[in-house]
């Protein structure tokens, strides 16, 4: 998993509330178990028409936001089913940070396990970030995970909370497998001693 320390990039504004996981990645794209290749179908039903052509008015189809790395969204982001493909699609598109007033719990935790930083902020602060994101590609936000701050293009700084363990995992690029591999030496020692103590196992 890629480490997350600091990020400065374009932020795309999506003020809709209750953006659910089926909107993020529709069910027909859940057949794969690979984490790559889903970015092209992120927000598929809002992004493309029935003929597969881009809908010009959708935010990520606008030239200013095609390379967005931050998403500023409405309340209750990631609600609906618990599909892990949702953060996979977001990450594969290139978005590493999502800011919203609140998140669905399962989606929120899945983000951390997939290298995405979800930031929950009060509505009034999200409103300011949303306005800043509406400026387009000339306005870049900065996210500092170590300092736990997000800075607008105008220099206004907001602090955010993050669980210390989740912060450690993101900053060191540790998913569940990575956390286990950190204990590889201890696991090997245990397996050797267990093999000697119970050779019949």
Q: Give the domain ranges of the chain.
A: 6-197
- Rounded to 10 deg, the angle between the 164-171 and 105-113 helix axes is 40
Length of the chain: 201
Instruction: List, in sequence order, every residue forming a beta bridge with 142; answer none if it has no partner.
Output: 8, 151
What is the residue-level pLDDT of the chain in tens, covering all 201 positions?
889 999 999 999 999 999 999 999 999 998 887 778 999 999 999 999 999 999 999 999 999 999 999 999 999 999 998 889 999 999 999 999 999 999 999 999 999 999 999 999 999 999 999 999 999 998 899 999 999 999 999 999 999 999 999 999 999 999 766 666 666 677 767 777 777 778 876
**Residue 49 has what DSSP assignment?**
-
Q: CA separation (Å) from 69 to 51, 60, 200?
A: 27, 11, 54
- pLDDT for 51 equals 96
Torsion of Cα atoms, 123 then 126 then 127 then 128, to 10°: 130
CA gap 14, 91 in Å, rounded: 16
- pLDDT for 181 equals 64
- pLDDT for 43 equals 98
- pLDDT for 5 equals 97
Topology given in CATH for the domain delimited by 6-197: Aconitase; domain 4 (3.20.19)
pTM for the full predicted model: 0.89
- pLDDT for 180 equals 63
- pLDDT for 178 equals 65
- pLDDT for 182 equals 63
């Amino acid at each position: 998993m890629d480490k997350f320390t600091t990020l400065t990039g374009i932020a795309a504004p999506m003020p809709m509330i209750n953006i659910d996981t089926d909107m993020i990645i529709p069910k027909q794209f859940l057949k794969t178990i690979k984490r790559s290749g889903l970015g092209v179908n992120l927000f598929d039903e809002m992004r493309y028409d029935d003929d597969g052509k881009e809908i010009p008015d959708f935010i990520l189809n606008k030239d200013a936001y095609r390379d967005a790395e931050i998403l500023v969204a409405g309340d209750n982001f990631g609600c609906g089913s618990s599909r892990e493909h949702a953060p996979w699609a977001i990450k594969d598109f290139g978005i590493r940070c999502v800011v919203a007033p609140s998140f669905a719990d399962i989606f929120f935790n899945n983000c951390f396990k997939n290298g995405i930083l979800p930031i929950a902020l009060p509505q009034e602060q999200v409103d300011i970030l949303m306005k800043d994101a509406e400026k387009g590609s000339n306005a870049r936000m900065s996210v500092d995970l170590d300092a736990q701050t997000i800075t607008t293009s105008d220099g206004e700084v907001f602090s955010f909370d993050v669980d210390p363990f989740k912060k450690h995992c993101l900053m060191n690029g540790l998913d569940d497998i990575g956390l286990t591999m950190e204990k590889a030496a201890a696991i090997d020692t245990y397996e050797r001693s267990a093999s000697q103590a119970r050779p019949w196992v």
